[in-house]
Amino acid sequence: MRALSILSAAVMLVSSVNAGSDPRDCEVCMKVMTDIRDSMPKPDQKDKPKIESAIGSHCANESLSAREKKICYYIDPIKRDVAQPFSLGMTADRLCKRINKNNPEICGVKFPVKTENLEPKDLTKLRVKQLKSILLDRGVECKGCVEKEEFIKKVQETEHLAGSDEF
């Protein structure tokens, strides 16, 4: 009976930790790592020097978005540290979480919230955190905003500032 209660407490603890994680955590890092893995032949995914060169060639690609280039900027100096777990077949999610321990900025890079073609009723479905990130991407500060409606109004007022993915 005691073992059952300890086991159930452990299960609830693990589920609460997983439920609190943001689904957007490390999204850009995971995309970059998945793209690198997909660009490599299967046998080369175990060879560390080839992984390092694949990281370098992927990051040299001019068609990367600004956020992907930022991840490359963070990953380039630690290619060897990234190549080790990569060669062992670690998933992109776990790999990004591991390198995030040494460099917390890696999981802080997120893709922008899509705001084009949003109607006012769609803005009400967003969380305040997402509304704040939209304003941050636009370079606007909402001083004195407390209620969600105030953030929505500010997002609508600054619609003309919605630009590209550049920093």
Where do we find the tokens 């777990």? Answer: 85
pLDDT tens string, the chain, 167 residues long: the values are: 565 455 555 544 444 444 345 566 788 999 999 999 999 999 999 999 999 999 999 999 999 988 899 999 999 999 999 999 999 999 999 999 999 998 888 888 887 766 666 666 678 888 898 888 888 878 888 888 999 999 888 888 888 777 654 44
Q: Look at the pTM and tell me if it is higher than 0.75.
A: no
Q: Residue 158 contacts by C-beta under 8 Å, 6 or more apart in sequence?
A: 135, 138, 140
- Tally Cβ neighbours within 10 Å of residue 33: 25
Work out the angle at residue 100's Cα, subtended by the Cα atoms of residues 99 and 104, and round it to the nearest 5 degrees.
Answer: 140
